[in-house]
Structure 1
Amino acid sequence: MQRYFLPPEQFQPSMNTVTIEGDDAHHLQRVMRADLGDKVICSNGVDREVLVRIMELDKTRVTAEIVEELPMNAESAVQVWIAQSLPKGDKMELIIQKGTEIGAARFLPFLSERTIVQYDAKKEAKRSERWQKIAKEAAEQAHRNRVPLIESVYSWKQLLARAKEADVAWICYEKEDGQQLKPVIQEALAAGKLGQGKQVLIAVGPEGGFTEQEIKQAEEAGFRSVSLGARILRTETAAMVGLTCLFYETGEMGG
């Protein structure tokens, strides 16, 4: 069933209705070919999700009555933050889309020594808006209860400071003698660091990877370096693999 994330003000508690506007209304009418009486799911992305029945249709707005309150149980117990050094081209869009589908709670883009992208602060607002839209659409497709937050681009120093807010911080590093991710996850589970509401940060480097100096700085800041296996993964693949491994080992994906 089609799902839409709506701002809280589009819920009308006194009238027991919701109003679907803008791009969502266009998508519902022009793409999904919705008609009167059809049902969809609407969520405020925070604490309320409802099944609604369409009552009125016009060019820019859809009004629907609330039929049923739904449980919000599609989010993972552990909140995973994906810190991604800005990759080339549209790879960040892929990372956000697929990471959202898998279950990431937020994304922290950052700049590191080998980042190839020429960061332009003037273009950040427009790019961030597009990234957030991609996250919203992916969350709707995956039937998430919440849309991941795409944070502003961090410097390397700012990322190291932000990582202190997480309960666990891992940095993916391809060194041959690196600690494999699975035993690190199991160790964190045994220590109670991956329970309900815990926050895990997974940092992934750019196309050229992290420098040894950056790994040293990260470890001094509280990160633990982990290996994702013997094969070298592309930057857009690494975050998805780390996220999937974590959710499998914590039982979110049948582990």
Structure 2
Amino acid sequence: MSRFFVSPENINIKEKKIFINGSENHHLSRVLRLKQEEEIVVFDGSGKEYEGTIKEISSQKTIVEIKRVQEKREDKQVKMTLAQAIPKKAKIKDIIDKTTQLGICTIIPIVSTRTIVRPSKEKEKLHLEKWQKIALESSKQCGRTKAPHINQITNFKDLISLSPQYDLALMPSLLGKRKELKNIYLHKAKKIIFFIGPEGGWTKQEIDLAEKNKVILIDLGGNVLKTDTAAIATMAILDFILCLI
């Protein structure tokens, strides 16, 4: 069944109705061309999922009759946060999409020394809305009931100082004394953050600052990975290792 996102205020449990409008209604009625009496799944971002039947459909809104409600628990017991130096447009889309599919909980866009893309304060809100929409669309596709949260853009130095608040902080790097992920003890970690650098990589000063804040440098292998590949690879490896624990 097709899945759609609806904010909780558009769901009337008492009357067993869901009201779908805006871009989701356009996708339902104009793109997928669904009809009355077809069944769909709706999620509200809070962990609840609704199965229902389309009762009314128009270009303005669709009304769905709720048949079943279930509260789905996310499978991930470990909350993972990606601190991603902002890359170019196409790369950030892939990073958000793929890490959402892999179960990332939070994405924090960061500005480091070699970050090229630096949105102005005026454009930051538009970027965040666009990135959150990508996370939402990916959540719809992969069956998640909660989309990852895209945080405000943060300076690397400000965020790295908060890394001790996590059970484990990791940073893929080409420099410094690095460890392989398979050799890092993950068993007791409930909150993990990993930092991914920009196209030009981390500076020595940033690596030194990370180590001072108890961030573990990691080695992703012999090849030099692009920033989007590094983000997705790190998330995939962590997810795989944690599934074995």
TM-score by length of 1: 0.91
- Match for 1:247 among 212, 216, 239? 239
1:217 corresponds, among 194, 197, 209, to 209
Structure 1 distance, partners of 2:162, 2:64, is: 41
> Structure 1 residues 89, 23: CA separation in 2 closer, same or farther (over 3 Å shift)?
closer
User: Which residues in structure 2 correspond to 1:56-95 (within 5 Å)?
Assistant: 56-95=56-95
Cα displacement (A) at 1:74:
4.6
Instruction: Give, as a single letter, the amino acid of the residue that structure 2 aligns with 1:233.
Output: L
Question: Quick one: which of 208, 219, 224 aligns to 1:232?
Answer: 224
The answer to whether residue 15 in structure 2 is matched with residue 5 in structure 1 is: no
| Partner SS, residue 201 of structure 1 | strand
Q: What secondary structure does 1:188 align onto?
A: coil
Q: Name the SS of the counterpart of 2:132 in structure 1.
A: helix
Instruction: Return the TM-score normalized by structure 2.
Output: 0.94
Alignment-derived partner of residue 153 in structure 1: 153
Count, aligned residues: 245
Deviation at 1:127, TM superposition (A): 1.1
Aligned with 2:186 (options 188, 204, 209): 188
Aligned to 2:140: 140
How much has 1:88 moved relative to structure 2? 2.5
Distance 1:101 1:245 in 2: 14
Q: Which amino acid aligns with 1:237?
A: T
| Structure 1: gaps of 5 or more residues | none
Work out whether 1:20 is the aligned partner of 2:20: yes
* Matching residue's letter, 1:64: V
Indicate the residue corresponding to 1:55 in structure 2: 55
- Contact 1:74/1:143 (8 A) holds in 2: no
1:106 aligns with 2:106: yes
Amino acid at match of 1:69: V
- Structure 1: which 4+ aligned runs deviate by more than 6 Å? none
CA contact (8 A) 1:176 1:230 kept: no
CA distance in 1, matches of 2:156, 2:74: 33
Tell me how far apart the structure 2 counterparts of residues 44 and 163 of structure 1 sit (CA, whole Å). 31
SS of the residue corresponding to residue 4 of structure 2 reads: strand
Q: Secondary structure at the match of 1:232?
A: coil
Instruction: Give the Cα separation in 2 of the matches to 1:45 and 1:63.
Output: 19
**Separation in 2 of the partners of 1:23 and 1:162?**
37
Alpha-carbon distance in structure 2 between the residues aligned to 1:233 and 1:54: 46
TM-superposition CA deviations, 1:35-81 (whole Å, max 9, x none): 11111111111131111111111211111111112341454221111
Which sits farther off after the overlay, 82-91 or 19-28?
82-91
Where 1:145 maps in the other structure, the secondary structure is: coil
State yes or no: 1:204 paired with 2:196. Answer: yes
Distance 1:47 1:139 in 2: 12
Q: Quote the sequence identity (%).
A: 31
Shift of 1:176: 7.5
Question: Would you say the 8 A contact 2:78–2:192 is kept in 1?
Answer: yes
Deviations 1:105-132 (A, max 9, x none): 1110001111122432211111111111
